[in-house]
Amino acid sequence: MDYNNYDRGYAEPAMTAADYMSRTYRWMACGLVLTFATAFVTATSYTMLSLVSSLYLVLTIAELALVFTLSARVQKMSIGTARALFLAYSVLNGMVLSFYFLAFSVGTLVMAFLSSAVYFGLMAVYGRTTNRDLTGWGPKLMLGLIALMITSLIGGLFGFGFGGSLLYSGIGLVVFMLLTAYDTQKLHQVYAYYAYDSEMAERASIYGALTLYLDFINIFLFVVRLMGSRSRD
């Protein structure tokens, strides 16, 4: 759907752009806090870690199902349901990512989080302030995501090697940094479309939070891998 140049006439918007973006980032932050808190609790609990280990595949499939459900049906579900699904996904993702808290030191994880926040923030500001239309990035970034997924499967089967792992992580980091700028700009196009419908704008802010949450998490994971590879070198 094209959100550019959408005009509703002279009616006053039901939600301001500032409020819309504030809600989006607030929900994104809630999701991140919930994910990292869940990952820490799981990694420090033998019972939780054993449960996650035995149900790892089930949990991974469940979180993918939640993402696809929220993405495909957010416009039709109630606001409460959309919020619940987003928070449920954040918890499941935290359980799945808990193994990173075992594989990497606390110092590496903290530095990776701070670096990710800087990278994410810079690209979000760029996406918000640039006068350049980033719509054309969409198809190229989608191809990049597909290439990353295929490469990840191949690497999982045959291994990357040190150089291949660094290259894969570096490319992945660049792709999700660009996605951050693209998604940030798109959020404002979505707002222009739904600004006059408070319920739809609220749903859109939750979906926007999920989109930015995924961008941040993936930036964090690629930064962790880069830092971990460098420390093992």
Contacts 24+ apart (CB under 8 A), 156-163: 162/229, 162/233
Distance CA(61)–CA(80), nearest Å, equals 23
The torsion defined by the Cα of 198, 209, 31 and 109, in degrees rounded to 10, comes to: -160
Which residue did the predictor score with more confidence, 12 or 162?
A: 162
The per-residue b/e assignment along 42-60, b for 16 or more CB within 10 angstroms, e otherwise, is: bbeeeeebeebeeeeeebe
pLDDT recorded at residue 3:
46
pTM score of the predicted model: 0.88
pLDDT tier for residue 230 given thresholds of 50, 70 and 90: low
Answer whether residue 121 shows pLDDT above 70: yes
Q: Is the pLDDT of residue 129 over 70?
A: yes
- Token pair, residue 124, equals 């979000």
Predicted pLDDT of residue 233 = 47
CA-based nearest residue to 95, from 33, 53, 150:
53
Quick check: 164 and 108 in contact, CB under 8 A?
Answer: no
Residue 163, Cβ density class (10 Å: 0-12 exposed, 13-18 middle, ≥19 buried): exposed
